[in-house]
Structure 1
Amino acid sequence: MTNTPPVTLADVRDAAARIEGVAHRTPVLRSRTLDALVGAEVYLKCENLQRVGAFKFRGAYNAASRLSAGQLSAGIAAYSSGNHAQAVALAARELGSTAVILMPEDTPRSKREATAGYGAEIVTYDRYNGDRVALGEAMAAERGLTLIPPYEHPHVIAGQGTAALELMEETGGLDALVVPCGGGGLLAGTATAVKGLGGSTRVIGVEPEAGDDTKRSLEAGHRVSVPVPRTIADGQAAHIPGELTFSVNQRLVDGIVLVSDDEIRAAMRLAFERLKTVIEPSGATGLAALLAGRVDGGAKRIGVILSGGNVDARRFAELCGD
């Protein structure tokens, strides 16, 4: 690891200024019912109410807004299972550019249709047999596009960290902040912001049991690959941490916990029935970990980032119906 961090608190604050007035400053939800269930004060950062329905717009816009006029004119490329796809598509539209997005064939229909709705061209691939990084880089090179990856980019990481920065400003401090982890961009941005502010807040990442690559990697001290996860948390179906994100998370994150698909479903149901809010499976993993008792019991003020809400009614019913 290098001694110079790839992303700093100053970068996160710079990103916050850049996205102000473009990205939403999302609300923080409180619930006495939830507090009673977990025995702590819980602060839910509702990134399911962010533009495109997920935190991803923060990083995508921060990165895209820094491109030159020539790069914007040529267009932007991305690869994504859904939320980053929508985020890049919308960022490109906001900046007068165009986007071509490489998406898995089994991406939920609502995410695919939303991405197309923002004006992007969609190219599909088989996530279980294709290397999206290699395919995405080749596509961008062939078409002369600037590639904005979903997490392996300092401006993307800094943008994602703005959600945690807002939450810390609003709450005045937390004992723990619980964050979903896929490729690790949101977790890296969060840890950069939180640890940069000082204090004793613990940063806890959450992965689905089938996709525990970051947990295994932190325990091993180097990046570890797992089979491509088969989990309802499609936004967290990474098989290996990003090199850049891992370098940050290895240094700053306090721990990783795992949740099952059934625990994710239970969190989605509770959010819908008791909190009156809709979250997608990947967006529910932080809440699932809290409800399952995986977060340090000594924490009395706990923040959770609800990272996304992109699930259509049919899919929600399939996952959470009786």
Structure 2
Amino acid sequence: MKTIRVMVVDDSATVRQVLSEVLSTAPDIRVIGTAADPIFALQKMEREWPDVLVLDIEMPRMDGITFLKKLMAEHPTPVVICSTLTEKGARVTMQAMAAGAVEVVTKPTVGLKQFLVDAGEALIRSVRAAANARMRKPIPVPGGTPKPPSDAFMPVNEPGMYKTTDKVVAIGTSTGGTQALESLLTRLPRTTPGLVVVQHMPEKFTAAFAARLNGICAIEVREARDGDRVIPGLALIAPGGFHLLLQRSGAQYRVGVIQGPVVNRHRPSVDVLFRSVARCAGGNALGIIMTGMGDDGARGLKEMHEAGALTLAQDEASCVVYGMPREAVKMQAVDRSVSLQALPDEIMEFGYGRGRRA
């Protein structure tokens, strides 16, 4: 078992102690050091470079964003952001993700000891995912399958429901997905078919993520609300802590936003979205599974494939973590794998009428 060397950088001594204790419970993780700010961290990193950094944002002498940009420009290293669950924290964290961080975990403002019980496994999974990431400089922004336990809130497949010209693009992603989605969505025109997106992300961070994308994209991007209609030129992002489902309202597509049970360790779950798209849209849909750790989305994409949808996977070379796409390919849920750079053209070709069987 390869040991993952981790450094924790946070200005709170209590937070450094708690995070170190959490990480030290994993046999494959070794905390090689802690630091109160990036200046001290750099001095220690010169002696032994970590495989993963767990990084706070607001720190003295040098803030986390400045440090992250410097790090990614000079020595790209996987970074897990540990940020407080606040509106301000969410906005700043999205800047960090855009700068190259690969994961985010929420840091409690109170009850740090309870964090050991409540969020320890999530932090360990995030560090392991980051350790497997392919680090690159951030991409500049251009101008019959086993089913997860989610049937209780799946939409009913109604006869004749495919009689509509509306099209839907469903996207699922996790680790590395914030940068990948930014690269993809900023290159789509306003004539793009309606998009529904699940990005694994904690509650409250998705609103800031959607708002940031909305400010740099030609299409409108926002956090989904229950009952929102899926229309061209609009991307609806699943809110953290809630599942996103596609639903039918006559000949129109709308979304449902529900809490429901956790599926594949996630809420929102890509499988929940994809399965609902298979039932409500069938061959009128395009499914895309992108960079991420684990297998969430693979079974749902298989259902979409079997329902007649065109299904694509981001290729290994362009993924930060080739986990979710690999599982979908292994399950024969994917029509073809394509690079991140090719995905915008694939979406527009689908919108102009090229489906799986065209």
Normalising by structure 1, what TM-score? 0.30
Q: Which has the larger radius of gyration?
A: 2
**Structure with the larger RCO, 1 or 2 (CA within 8 Å, 6+ apart):** 1
Higher strand share: 2
Higher helix share: 1
Normalising by structure 2, what TM-score? 0.28
